[in-house]
Structure 1
């Protein structure tokens, strides 16, 4: 796979994570009782535990953990889990249950990340505040409350990813992400040719109308906007590294100069000539 395809794939997948759908199901702070325990179950939702005090154990996907204060745990849906207390000094934890999908895929199939991250002491108060706000907005009935709750959850997830060493996106072995990746590679290899929604939908084995919705749901962009964005990125590279003039660059993508110039300015804020001047 070429460098351009690899870079585009990374951009595609990062965009997919950024556009994932999340729904807060429950959120609270709990000092758990000594009877808090469940063994070998598979939840249908994701959980986040931010440990503030106490002792106990978690078992996630066959690996047992001894959580300490300041540790944030992601317990993914679809993964076998256990939990219990140890003694009378039980966990005090901020927690939430949430649903998360990237395209049609559950988050755990797309996100390759550790289930435990350690939050440095200086940042723990800020994260605890985010959980408090999440819990508050989860119980409110105002029109914007659900949006604020999702915003707090996304802040918490962003913190988790920022502290998760080696966290990365991965291609699902099946489903919409694999199909969209097939489309992505085709787009990257044929930016110089006319591309139609019907052609791309056929690659993904989707009806065109469904394909448009699914593509935007996964990437945040319509197919045409995504294609044009990739063409403009390629054009910017050509202006920065070659002596091709505007007409020649437009011709590389089968575009009329006037349309290319308008699209370039709408996308970058510069005319092609202004952009070229920055590299001369």
Structure 2
């Protein structure tokens, strides 16, 4: 049997200011990571094993996936099945704005579940995905986006400040803030240890337990997020690599593709292409 080619399609919609994302074929295992944006996705075909915030899920056709910003997760194929996964990525400021317009209240939404099996909401999500894909009129896309979020807010969202979310301790928060502010530097474990009263082994264990990813994985995720913003602004990949602390462009490209599924150049073309599309 011939191998089905992996494909990744990303579409940036300038009217809604969101990304539509598709993975198809036998897709690579993605590492433990998080995003700075919300993700609403669903399985259109095949299956996938997902780990998210210490829980495990077997996903199949019709399952809805919801990620808050910073929800750490990773996934892998199940028995080599062909995967078709579709999602929209929504920046926090857009989500807060839509929450106000839909509910009449200003709040930061928080998804209370990461996986909803066999959800009817996947139909609304597919409508939005197809509207973006087909460059539908702005009104059609706006309606599809509104109806999707209206359903999600009614069934699976609470205001963030009403959710009991365990917070990392102050020393771990300090380390996170330091890496977020100094991501372009050559940060070493000794630098982090010097900021706490932890031993190296305790720091690594405690950070990973409280944040969900290791310090190095946290730093690389922050770097990739900052690099994406630079690429969107037209900064050359080689310059974005230097500005975000990667040793060289090759190192940058490998990490970027591991996290995003596209090379930096492929990702940047999404924002250069007038139709907002990049295929691999």
| TM-score bracket for this pair, using the shorter chain length | 0.3 to 0.5
- TM-score using structure 1 length: 0.40
Greater CA radius of gyration, 1 or 2? 1
